[in-house]
Amino acid sequence: MSLQRIFQADAYGQQPVTQNFWHRAFEPEVLGEPLQEEHSCEVAIVGGGYTGLSAALKLAQQGVDVAVLDARHIGWGASGRNGGFCCLGGTIAEDDELIRRYGEVEARRYFYAERAAIDLVAELLDQYEIDADVASKGETVLAHKPRRVDQLKDTAADIQKRYGISCHFHGKDELTELGMNASGLSAGLTIPVGFALHPYKYARGLAAAVKSQGARFYEQTEVLSIVPADDGQYVLKVRKGHLRAQKVLLATNGYSSENMPEWLAGKYLPVQSNILMTRPLSEEELKRQAGSPIRWHMTRGHCCITSACCRTIG
């Protein structure tokens, strides 16, 4: 199949990362040159984000000959410029709805995967000594309106039931003592699982771990088409060559092509979003922000309009 882009060309160029806060934090090394001429591997992975890198690491650890291709550079996409939170969450549907739709066993497997994902990231950070600016322990959810207090209590009960995790409920007075009630919040709930991290540093550290296991990287290598060969393999065509692979893993997330196979086309939804960050603020400006009704958080003296360090309900 010949791959076709979904969004306008700007979405796939350098513009999205030019002023990105995470990408300006450090200068990463080049992990791989563009693919040229003819090469082969056992497994070709298209996409150098968390999914592709995690798969490459597992395969390389088992001695599989792996090649990772990325149209830009490793960590260029959402894996290198997200909010930076490794925490629980991932569905809007209530527990009862998930159980009704998929059954008790499958729903519990999903809950387990959510919890296990956090432990896996922590394990990889430790095992490969990845410096990803890890900070915080858990997250605090805030109720902006009195009518949302009972909802927080229900959330605490759900988390206890779903994961066996006890949360800490904060009344209005305790929030004030903690310095978290400048905007007149009604309550808070601290979930003692997960942490914040530098997403781009984590992606690059994960890539270094993959490379240490013998996998190859081809950066600045856009896959133009994937063609089945007569011998059962696949030929990935790029601008100046091609790669033959026994198996192909597409790990392109929202950057997948418009003409994916029909069975896959309805299973992903590309979404673009932004977090707006100011220049470093003065002390006077920071004081003025403390009373603002806008949801914001502080990152190294900047003000960000986003629900990042704390999620706000209502």
Rounded Cα–Cα distance for residues 303 and 44 (Å): 41
- Identify whether the C-beta of residue 188 lies closer than 8 Å to the C-beta of residue 225: no
Cβ neighbours of residue 264 under 8 Å, at least 6 residues apart? none
Q: Is the pLDDT of residue 134 over 70?
A: yes
CATH superfamily to which 9-83+199-265 belongs: FAD/NAD(P)-binding domain (3.50.50.60)
Edge-first strand order for the sheet with 241-250 is: 216-218, 66-69, 37-46, 241-250, 234-238, 225-228
Q: Using pLDDT thresholds of 50, 70 and 90, give the confidence band for residue 220.
A: very high
Rg of the chain (C-alpha set): 22
SS3 assignment, position 306 = coil
H/E element, 277: strand 276-277
Distance (Å) of CA 44 to CA 73, 192, 256, 309: 16, 38, 15, 37
- Identify whether the C-beta of residue 91 lies closer than 8 Å to the C-beta of residue 98: yes
Q: Rank 15-24, 162-171, 281-290 by mean pLDDT and report only the highest.
A: 162-171
Model pTM score: 0.83
Mean per-residue pLDDT for 115-120? 93
Query: What rounded mean pLDDT belongs to the chain?
Result: 84
Domain ranges of the chain: 9-83+199-265
Rounded Cα–Cα distance for residues 128 and 138 (Å): 22
Q: What is the pLDDT of residue 290?
A: 56
146 backbone dihedrals φ, ψ, rounded to 5°: -55, -35
